[in-house]
Structure 1
C-alpha cells in the first residue's frame, strides 16, 4: 500500500483514466507506457498500419513501437 497524501485519490475511475488518454489523443488499448513529466508527456505505443493493426518488427520478435513526446507549452 502506498503512502496516503492529502488530496491524492487512492484510485481513479475507468472513465477518468480513459479521459486522461483522450485529452492527449492516445488510445489506451495501444499504449504500453505513459509518463507525465514536468516538461511533457512521454508515451510508448504500438505502431499501427493503415488498417489500425499492430505491425510486427522485421525480425519477427514482436510488435513495432513508437515513442511519442508531447511537450507542455505555457499559454501566452
Structure 2
C-alpha cells in the first residue's frame, strides 16, 4: 500500500448555485451519484481526476525524516 489511498472523481466548480457558487463539487465514481435538486451532480460522469482520500501518517513521516536525513548528509 502507498502513502495515499485515492479514488477517482469528477470534480467541477459550481458557477450558478444559489448557495454554492464558486465551490468545488466532487462526484466519486465508487460512491455513486449525489443527487441535488438540479441534478447537476448526477450528470457528472467524467472520473478523470484522482483524489487523495486517506494518508498513512507513519509512512508519510518516515518519508519526510528520510528526506531530511539525506539532505543533512549531503550538506555535511
- Normalising to structure 2: TM-score of the pair? 0.24
- Normalising to structure 1: TM-score of the pair? 0.24
User: Which has the larger helix fraction?
Assistant: 2
Q: Which has the higher contact order (CA 8 A, sep 6+)?
A: 2
Which entry has the higher C-alpha Rg, 1 or 2? 2
